[in-house]
């Protein structure tokens, strides 16, 4: 089992950045343990899960708290013990198994940062877990409920998790390098998928071209690829892939990422077939998306970027003649939300929708979504080092359009144009963007495409 191909980053740089990353995680953990009143932190990598009444496992998903320390994504039944002032202890489960390929012997730049113990059976980890800390409740154990081993039952203290989740919003230098690499892999694969679309491929063929180009097995993707041709582009999280191409491929909406050491990219591109009206829509959305990316600045309330996106979408609808209402009236009346019914984006990192998007502080105070915007996934003020997606969309969703038809504003809609554009499904353009201490943001996605050249 190999991890995502990693031919894009100089390994030496990554190793140096990782040393600093571990030091930061040690400091964050010591601080979080102080808040929760525990002496040590024990993190389960996770356990394999099986289908009901069956022996087939689901795709393993590592505990993100484990992945934060280690670039190990396919390692169930391992444990990490973090004690302030000590080298972290990794109990690494490498079973003797001739049915499957077990994890490789520990190797790589990360190994020297851990006190390493290799066990052959999951229950052997018990001998190396600190039972002395258990009885008095001095141990914070982070993991899923079914990752329990004997008396080591995850207790997931809220105060500790809140502090760790809040801190995770701002990335370390190591994490940024991982995210850059995930973007490069994703951009390369988007290029290949676009070529397949132009050649008339089916959704399934486009998906396979994507996998081939980024070097990931399907199970290594950070989320299921969304590969929508034509009207399927109007389904926000379209989950199927038709095996046969449509008679005419008018548009492709591809929302697909990649991962590096457990860190995700999340990239959406939409392409047309040269139809002038749809091309104008694409060009307008591209310009709007870039203006929104430019708002990713330290101190900005992310909710304001979401509201600005509604004004942008309303402007596109007005300029294209789809809706004959000014921007303010569209946003206030919920018309922009008919065409843009999701949030502008979210935090990105170890999880595609990374944790902590609603936290005002490390004690877990929640920041509400703006009223009438139930799908926004991030309400925080932007800080340097945060990585967010900026993903405005404009779709022709039959269910929502039917509701609009029943409203008085229906008279302001050019329904013939809506019918024409509905054949293309919709547009989403999504970049992964780093907030910097000052100046313009770093656009991981655009930088990755630029490296590929034309």
Binding site for Mn ion (CB under 5 A): 255, 266, 268, 389, 430
CA distance to 188, 329, 402, per residue, from 406 (Å): 44, 18, 7
203 scored as a contact of ligand GLY (CB under 6 A)? no
Q: Which 288-347 residues touch ligand GLY, going by CB under 6 A?
A: none
Give dist(CA 250, CA 237) in Å, integer: 19
74 or 268: CB nearest Mn ion: 268
Nearest to 286, CA basis, from 391, 388, 441, 182: 391
391 scored as a contact of ligand GLY (CB under 6 A)? yes
Q: Which does 231 bind (CB under 5 to 8 A by kind): ligand GLY, Mn ion, none?
A: none
Nearest to 281, CA basis, from 170, 180, 392, 194: 392
75 or 346: CB nearest ligand GLY: 346
266 scored as a contact of ligand GLY (CB under 6 A)? yes
- Residue 449 CA neighbour count, 13 Å, CB half: 15
Closest approach of ligand GLY to the CB of residue 229, in Å:
17
354 scored as a contact of ligand GLY (CB under 6 A)? no
Rounded to 5°, the CA angle 211-179-224 comes to 35
Count of residues for the chain?
A: 454
Closest approach of Mn ion to the CB of residue 391, in Å:
5
Q: Is 372 left (phi over 0), alpha (psi -120 to 50) or beta?
A: left
CA distance to 160, 180, 191, 271, 365, per residue, from 227 (Å): 39, 23, 14, 12, 37
Q: Which does 327 bind (CB under 5 to 8 A by kind): ligand GLY, Mn ion, none?
A: none
Closest approach of ligand GLY to the CB of residue 223, in Å:
5
249 or 268: CB nearest Mn ion: 268
Dihedral over alpha carbons 170, 174, 175, 181 (to 10 degrees):
140
Among positions 77, 175, 430, 431, the unique one binding ligand GLY when judged by CB under 6 A = 430
Give dist(CA 277, CA 5) in Å, integer: 40
- On whether the CB atoms of residues 170 and 21 are closer than 8 A, the answer is no
- On whether the CB atoms of residues 216 and 232 are closer than 8 A, the answer is no
Give 254-302 as a DSSP string: EEE--EETTEE--EEEEE--S-HHHHHHHHHHHHHHHHHHTT--TT-BH
Q: What is the DSSP letter of 392?
A: -
Nearest to 181, CA basis, from 21, 339, 6: 6
Among positions 175, 255, 284, 354, the unique one binding ligand GLY when judged by CB under 6 A = 255
266 or 327: CB nearest ligand GLY: 266
- The site string for ligand GLY over 206-245 (x = CB under 6 A, - otherwise) reads -----------------x----------------------
Closest approach of Mn ion to the CB of residue 282, in Å:
17
290 or 352: CB nearest ligand GLY: 352
432 scored as a contact of ligand GLY (CB under 6 A)? no
Closest approach of ligand GLY to the CB of residue 391, in Å:
6
**What Rg, from alpha-carbon coordinates, does the chain have?**
24
Q: Which does 223 bind (CB under 5 to 8 A by kind): Mn ion, ligand GLY, none?
A: ligand GLY
35 or 352: CB nearest ligand GLY: 352
Give the residue nearest to ligand GLY (CB).
255
Max alpha carbon distance in the chain (Å)?
A: 73
How many residues in the shown chain lie near ligand GLY by CB under 6 A?
Answer: 6
203 or 255: CB nearest Mn ion: 255
29 or 259: CB nearest ligand GLY: 259
Q: Where does this chain bind ligand GLY (CB under 6 A)?
A: 223, 255, 266, 352, 391, 430
């Amino acid at each position: 089992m190999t991890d995502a191909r990693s031919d894009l980053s100089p390994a030496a740089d990554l190793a140096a950045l990782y040393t600093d990353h571990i030091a930061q995680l040690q400091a964050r953990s010591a601080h979080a343990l102080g808040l929760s009143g525990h002496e040590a932190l024990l993190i389960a990598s996770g356990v394999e899960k099986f289908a009901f009444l069956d022996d087939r496992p689901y795709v393993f998903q590592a505990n993100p708290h484990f992945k934060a320390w280690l670039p190990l994504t396919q390692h169930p039944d391992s444990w990490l013990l973090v004690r302030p002032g000590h080298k972290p202890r990794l109990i690494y489960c490498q079973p003797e198994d001739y049915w499957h390929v077990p994890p490789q012997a520990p190797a790589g730049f990360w190994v020297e940062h851990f006190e390493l113990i290799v066990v052959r059976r999951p229950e052997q980890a018990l001998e190396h877990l600190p039972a002395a800390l258990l009885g008095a409740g001095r141990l914070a154990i982070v993991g899923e409920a079914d990752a329990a081993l004997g008396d080591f039952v995850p207790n997931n203290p809220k105060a500790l998790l809140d502090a760790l989740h809040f801190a995770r919003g701002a990335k370390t230098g190591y994490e940024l390098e991982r995210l850059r690499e995930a973007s490069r892999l994703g951009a390369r694969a988007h290029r290949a998928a676009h070529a397949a679309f132009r050649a008339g491929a089916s959704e399934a063929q486009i998906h396979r071209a994507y996998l081939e180009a980024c070097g990931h097995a399907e199970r290594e993707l950070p989320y299921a690829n969304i590969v929508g041709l034509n009207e399927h582009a109007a389904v926000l999280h379209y989950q199927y892939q038709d095996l046969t191409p449509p008679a005419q491929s008018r548009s492709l909406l591809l929302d697909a990422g990649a991962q590096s050491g457990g860190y995700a990219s999340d990239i959406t591109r939409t392409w047309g077939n040269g139809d002038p009206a749809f091309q104008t829509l694409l060009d307008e959305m591209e310009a709007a998306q870039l203006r929104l990316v430019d708002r990713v600045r330290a101190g900005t309330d992310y909710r304001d970027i979401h509201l600005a996106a509604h004004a942008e979408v309303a402007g596109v609808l007005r300029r294209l003649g789809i809706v004959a209402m000014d921007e303010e009236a569209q946003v206030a009346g919920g018309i922009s939300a008919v065409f843009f019914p999701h949030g502008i984006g979210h935090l990105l990192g170890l999880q595609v929708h990374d944790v902590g998007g609603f936290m005002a502080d490390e004690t877990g105070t929640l920041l509400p979504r703006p009223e009438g915007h139930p799908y926004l996934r991030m309400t925080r003020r932007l800080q340097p080092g945060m990585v967010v997606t900026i993903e405005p969309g404009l779709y022709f969703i039959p269910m929502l359009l039917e509701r609009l038809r029943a409203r008085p504003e229906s008279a302001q809609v050019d329904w013939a144009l809506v019918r024409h554009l509905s054949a293309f499904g919709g547009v989403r353009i999504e970049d992964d963007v780093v907030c910097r201490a000052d100046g313009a943001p770093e656009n991981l996605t655009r930088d990755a495409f630029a490296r590929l050249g034309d």
